[in-house]
């Protein structure tokens, strides 16, 4: 039941927003819808902790600890962004970013508040679909829905960003579909494969050692290229900075945290099948290669970056590289690092984008050089939170991401991947220097003559809520959440 | 007596191989020509042939669920998507593709090379002792995929790139029916729905790019860097 509700609520939210006439109705629909989704995600996590796995409709819907964790994180980000976007879009409406006419503005708001629940719906579908083909269709749907969120402001540059996003994503996903097809072929001699269950992950995972090995090799490469494109792994990452810097900030926050998780989720599902069929060595080499390449490529771009939203996008490329590296290291330690990192990164990265949105709306620029005066004096709350989230994301202790990155480095040295460990630390240092240099300068820079910005209840509230979560889980992860994370790691490593 | 050849498996396979060869010829024809309307029509004929291949397989293997996949392909890729794109072409008043990056004769030679590569890859999958179609269909499918990729790189008009992306998907459809007699029905449904929505989304994007840039040349899209 919970699994169905998880899909029905976002869909009804989208419908309610589509037929709403006034801004307040849309805001209320989104807030209620995402609030309910979040509650259900918690209930689902509780159920998974109690029973192990939940499935419905003959195994068409399926959730284990891994799905429950991804769902919980998606729901959290969606709720926070819905709250934030109320203030954000009101500001846009007042400043004329949404057009001059009232009707035009309402049409824009309607588009935003309809597409966002549909976006969340497709991400939830990714996490609860058992059939790998259906999961593919849901991942493709996340791209199709979010294309028009990227073109939201209708600028020439947003069209360019959306075009790159749709075409590169489309090519990548066609490779992923090929991989899914080859996986189906690899398992098509298993009993009962003619029926729908032939592509069900739970069935394939049980009989993984019977899968055709040659086919699985090819399938994994295709899947890695395909879902890797969606996750923004180098060298298929080029759409990412464009899409993230052109989309409205709450959408960018969802894209860079929740949608990244969904793409990685698809990759992880296939990793489990491949590693059970071929052993961990083959997938792990490929994953380490792409992971380290993504981390490495992001370093120079972060060091010379002039635009803070693009800086955050390159950070996401770096972190998707970190998570793929952790997956490649595997074992109980690597997978635990991966799941912790996914959790912490989701919170910190969405927080960063929301802070960037405040800065962007107040200073009307995306460039570091044009922000006159220090953010921390003009917008004290945003400035402090921005700095804290930045310190967290580059892995400074005592924040949470330090722990997960430390775990991953430990997994690298424990597993004898010396080179990986050394490169990981090296790239991490580069990112650390670059980010601190730019963002530190922006927030703590010389005093300007801008007056102190007024308070913004919706946005400040959502920032405060999220930063509280970030700080608290740095010191103390609640026992049920830790259990869920451990459960998800166990699903991946099998130990 | 008249019905006899239509029950013979080998005869069926020969028909299918013939149609797959035609599909490949059409894909190379796309590389060789420059008119966008022709490209759309070739895509429609190619999809029609694929639907026929699926229907033939359904007939000879008595697998009714493949008929559904064939019918859906017919509706989406032979009727809806081409109509949508032809309207777009009329509205935007575009006819000719700009000069491709690599000239036409060389492009055709490269496509030939990619077909060869397709055969080499398909060979490694082929297991003579297993049921399933011959390696010809799989080789054609992989070639479609590769030539589609090549077209995307080689052509700069936005609409041509969308059509090439859709022909990649055609290659996958052929691979699916030749490897495993098609994916489960619900998966086919999901894929075709996505194809339809993708065609619409990309069509709208192409239209808006044309309006803002006065051109569909995607090499003009280079403002976002670094």
Residue A195's closest chain B neighbor by CA? B184
In DSSP terms, A62 is beta-bridged to A55
In a domain, B203, yes or no: yes
pLDDT at residue B159, rounded to an integer: 86
Q: Which of A62, A28, A68 is nearest to A44 (CA)?
A: A68
Please answer yes or no on whether B193 and A137 come within 8 Å at the CB atom. Answer: yes
State whether residue A438 sits within 8 Å of chain B by CB.
no
Please answer yes or no on whether B224 and A242 come within 8 Å at the CB atom. Answer: yes
- A151 neighbors B208 (Cβ within 8 angstroms): yes
pLDDT at residue A112, rounded to an integer: 94
In a domain, B224, yes or no: no
Please answer yes or no on whether B186 and A147 come within 8 Å at the CB atom. Answer: no
In a domain, B226, yes or no: no
Task: Summarize pLDDT for A176-205 with one digit per residue, the tens.
Answer: 999 998 888 888 776 655 555 778 898 888
State whether residue A213 sits within 8 Å of chain B by CB.
no
C-alpha B133/C-alpha B127 separation (Å) is 10
The beta strand positions in A440-484, using DSSP E, are none
| Integer angstrom CA distances of residue A182 from A12, A179, A207 | 36, 5, 16
Looking at residue A307, the DSSP 8-state letter turns out to be B
C-alpha A121/C-alpha A10 separation (Å) is 5
Alpha helices in A304-417 (DSSP H): 308-329, 331-363, 375-378, 380-393, 400-414
**Average pLDDT for A312-337:** 93
Could you tell me which residues come within 8 angstroms of residue A429 by beta carbon, excluding any fewer than 6 positions away? none
The b/e string for A145-156 (b: 16+ C-beta within 10 A; e otherwise) is bbbbbbbbeeee
**Average pLDDT for A361-372:** 83
In a domain, B169, yes or no: yes
Q: How confident is the model at residue A282 (pLDDT cuts 50, 70, 90)?
A: very high
Task: Summarize pLDDT for A380-419 with one digit per residue, the tens.
Answer: 889 899 999 999 998 888 888 888 999 999 999 998 889 9
In a domain, B52, yes or no: yes
In a domain, B212, yes or no: yes
For the record, the structure tokens of A395 come out as 């892995």
- A326 neighbors A408 (Cβ within 8 angstroms): yes
C-alpha A459/C-alpha A467 separation (Å) is 12
Report which secondary-structure segment, H or E, holds A55.
Answer: strand A54-56
Q: What is the pLDDT along chain B (226 residues), one digit of tens a residue?
A: 455 566 677 787 888 889 999 999 999 998 888 888 888 999 999 999 999 998 988 888 777 888 888 999 999 999 999 999 999 888 887 766 667 788 888 999 999 999 999 888 888 776 655 655 566 888 898 899 999 989 888 888 888 888 999 989 899 888 888 877 777 888 888 888 888 899 999 988 888 888 887 776 777 777 676 6
In DSSP terms, A200 is beta-bridged to A131
C-alpha A13/C-alpha A117 separation (Å) is 6
State whether residue A59 sits within 8 Å of chain B by CB.
no
The set of long-range contacts for B117-123, using a CB threshold of 8 Å and a minimum separation of 24, is: B117/B142, B117/B143, B117/B146, B118/B142, B118/B143, B118/B144, B118/B145, B118/B146, B119/B143
Residue B103's SS3 state is coil
C-alpha A494/C-alpha A481 separation (Å) is 19
Structural domain range at position B20? 4-217
Could you tell me which residues come within 8 angstroms of residue A219 by beta carbon, excluding any fewer than 6 positions away? A179, A180, A182, A183, A186, A270, A274
pLDDT at residue A376, rounded to an integer: 83
Beta-sheet pairing, A54-56 with A61-63: antiparallel
ipTM here: 0.89
Highest mean pLDDT among A90-99, A293-302, A434-443, A444-453: A293-302
CA distance B109 to chain A (A): 23
Looking at residue A54, the DSSP 8-state letter turns out to be E
Task: Summarize pLDDT for A468-478 with one digit per residue, the tens.
Answer: 999 898 888 89
State whether residue B83 sits within 8 Å of chain A by CB.
no
In a domain, B142, yes or no: yes
C-alpha A173/C-alpha A87 separation (Å) is 35
C-alpha A185/C-alpha A198 separation (Å) is 9
Residue A131's closest chain B neighbor by CA? B187
CA distance A331 to chain B (A): 32
pLDDT at residue A87, rounded to an integer: 92
pLDDT at residue A123, rounded to an integer: 96
**Average pLDDT for A229-242:** 91
pLDDT at residue A291, rounded to an integer: 94
Where is average pLDDT lowest: A110-114, A213-217, A424-428, A478-482?
Answer: A213-217
Question: Which sign does the torsion angle of CA A140, A146, A147, A148 carry?
Answer: positive
What's the distance, CA B181 to chain centroid?
A: 17
Q: Which of A157, A126, A150 is nearest to A140 (CA)?
A: A126
C-alpha A116/C-alpha B137 separation (Å) is 41
State whether residue A131 sits within 8 Å of chain B by CB.
yes
- The three-state (H, E, C) secondary structure of A280-292, written as one string: CHHHHHHHHHHHH
| Integer angstrom CA distances of residue A408 from A214, A390, A395, A421, B184 | 30, 20, 12, 8, 39
**Residue B75 burial by Cβ neighbours in a 10 Å radius (0-12, 13-18, 19+):** middle
Please answer yes or no on whether B169 and A304 come within 8 Å at the CB atom. Answer: no
- If you count DSSP H runs as helices and E runs as strands, how many of each does chain B have, helices first? 8, 0
Please answer yes or no on whether B184 and A199 come within 8 Å at the CB atom. Answer: yes
Chain A residues within an 8 Å CB radius of B144: none
Chain A residues within an 8 Å CB radius of B212: 156, 159
Chain B residues within an 8 Å CB radius of A159: 205, 208-209, 212, 221
pLDDT at residue B128, rounded to an integer: 59
Q: How confident is the model at residue A267 (pLDDT cuts 50, 70, 90)?
A: very high
Task: State the best of A184, A193, A216 to mutate against chain B, taking most chain B CBs within 10 Å.
Answer: A184
- A164 neighbors A247 (Cβ within 8 angstroms): no
Could you tell me which residues come within 8 angstroms of residue A134 by beta carbon, excluding any fewer than 6 positions away? A60, A125, A199, B186, B187, B190
CA distance B1 to chain A (A): 33
State whether residue A111 sits within 8 Å of chain B by CB.
no
Q: A232 pLDDT exceeds 60? A: yes
* Domain total in chain B: 1
For the record, the structure tokens of A206 come out as 């049980």
| Integer angstrom CA distances of residue A438 from A306, A378, A382, B16 | 8, 18, 16, 61
Residue B33's SS3 state is coil
Q: A81 pLDDT exceeds 90? A: yes
Chain A residues within an 8 Å CB radius of B187: 131, 133-134, 136-137, 199
> DSSP string spanning A111-140?
HHHHHHHHHHHHHHHHHHB-BHHHHHHHHH
Q: Which of A267, A265, A393, A415 is nearest to A334 (CA)?
A: A415
The b/e string for B153-186 (b: 16+ C-beta within 10 A; e otherwise) is ebbbbbbbbbbbbbbbbbbbbbbbbbbbbbbbee
Q: A126 pLDDT exceeds 50? A: yes
State whether residue A204 sits within 8 Å of chain B by CB.
no
Chains A, B: CB contacts within 8 A come to 121
């Amino acid at each position: 039941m919970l699994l169905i509700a998880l899909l029905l609520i976002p869909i009804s939210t989208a419908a309610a927003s589509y037929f709403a006439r006034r801004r307040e109705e849309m805001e209320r629909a989104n807030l209620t819808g995402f609030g309910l989704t979040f509650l259900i995600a918690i209930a689902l996590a509780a159920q998974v902790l109690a029973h192990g796995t939940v499935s419905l409709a003959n195994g068409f819907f399926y959730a284990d600890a891994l799905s429950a964790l991804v769902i919980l994180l998606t729901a959290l980000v969606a709720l926070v962004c819905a709250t934030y976007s109320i203030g954000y879009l009101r500001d846009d409406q007042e400043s004329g970013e949404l057009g001059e006419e009232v009707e035009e503005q309402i049409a824009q708001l309607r588009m935003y508040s309809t597409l966002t629940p549909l976006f969340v719906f497709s991400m939830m579908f990714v996490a609860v679909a058992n059939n790998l083909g259906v999961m593919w269709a849901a991942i493709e749907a996340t791209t199709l829905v979010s294309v028009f969120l990227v073109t939201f402001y209708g600028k020439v540059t947003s069209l360019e960003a959306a075009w790159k996003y749709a075409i590169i994503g489309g090519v990548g996903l066609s490779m992923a579909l090929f991989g899914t097809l080859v996986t189906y072929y690899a398992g098509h001699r298993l009993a009962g494969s003619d029926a729908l269950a032939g592509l069900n992950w739970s069935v394939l995972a049980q009989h993984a050692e019977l899968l055709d090995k040659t086919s699985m090799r090819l399938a994994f490469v295709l899947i890695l290229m395909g879902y890797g494109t969606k996750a923004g792994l180098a060298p298929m990452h080029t759409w990412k900075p464009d899409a993230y810097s052109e989309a409205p900030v709450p959408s960018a926050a969802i894209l860079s945290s929740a949608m990244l998780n969904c793409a990685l989720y698809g990759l992880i599902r296939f990793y489990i099948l491949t590693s059970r069929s071929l052993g961990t060595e083959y997938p792990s080499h490929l994953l380490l290669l792409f992971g380290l390449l993504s981390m490495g490529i992001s370093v120079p771009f972060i060091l010379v970056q002039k635009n803070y939203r693009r800086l955050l996008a390159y950070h996401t490329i770096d972190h998707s590289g970190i998570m793929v590296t952790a997956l490649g290291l595997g074992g109980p330690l690597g997978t635990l690092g991966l799941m912790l990192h996914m959790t912490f990164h989701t919170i910190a990265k969405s927080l960063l984008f929301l802070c960037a949105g405040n800065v962007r709306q107040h200073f009307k620029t995306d460039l570091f050089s044009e922000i006159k005066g220090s953010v921390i004096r003009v917008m004290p709350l945003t400035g402090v939170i921005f700095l804290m989230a930045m310190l967290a994301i580059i892995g400074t202790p005592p924040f949470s991401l330090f722990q997960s990155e430390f775990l991953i480095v430990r997994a690298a040295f424990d597993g004898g991947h010396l080179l990986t460990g050394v490169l990981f630390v090296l790239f991490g240092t580069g990112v650390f220097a670059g980010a601190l240099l730019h963002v530190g300068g922006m927030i703590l820079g010389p005093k300007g003559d801008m007056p102190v910005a007024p308070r913004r209840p919706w946005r400040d509230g959502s920032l405060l809520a999220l930063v509280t979560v970030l700080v608290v889980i740095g010191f103390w992860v609640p026992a049920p959440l830790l259990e869920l994370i451990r459960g998800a790691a166990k699903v991946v490593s099998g130990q | 007596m008249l019905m006899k050849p239509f029950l013979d498996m080998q005869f069926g396979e020969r028909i299918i191989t013939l149609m797959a060869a035609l599909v490949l010829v059409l894909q190379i024809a796309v590389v060789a020509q420059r008119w966008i309307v022709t490209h759309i029509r070739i895509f429609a004929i190619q999809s029609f042939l694929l639907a026929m291949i699926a229907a033939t397989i359904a007939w000879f293997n008595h697998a009714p669920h493949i008929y559904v996949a064939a019918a859906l392909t017919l509706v989406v890729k032979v009727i809806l998507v081409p109509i949508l794109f032809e309207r777009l072409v009329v509205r935007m008043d575009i006819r000719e593709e700009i000069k491709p990056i690599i000239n036409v004769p060389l492009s055709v030679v490269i496509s030939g090379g990619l077909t060869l590569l397709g055969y080499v890859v398909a060979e490694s999958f082929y297991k003579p002792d297993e049921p399933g179609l011959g390696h010809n269909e799989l080789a054609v499918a992989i070639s479609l995929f590769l030539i589609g990729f090549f077209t995307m790189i080689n052509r700069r008009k936005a609409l041509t790139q969308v059509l090439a992306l859709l022909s990649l998907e055609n290659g996958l459809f052929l691979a699916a029916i030749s490897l495993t007699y098609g994916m489960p029905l619900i998966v086919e449904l999901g894929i075709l729905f996505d194809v339809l929505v993708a065609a619409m989304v990309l069509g709208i994007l192409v239209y808006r790019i044309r309006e803002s840039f006065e051109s569909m040349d995607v090499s003009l899209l280079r403002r976002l860097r670094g």
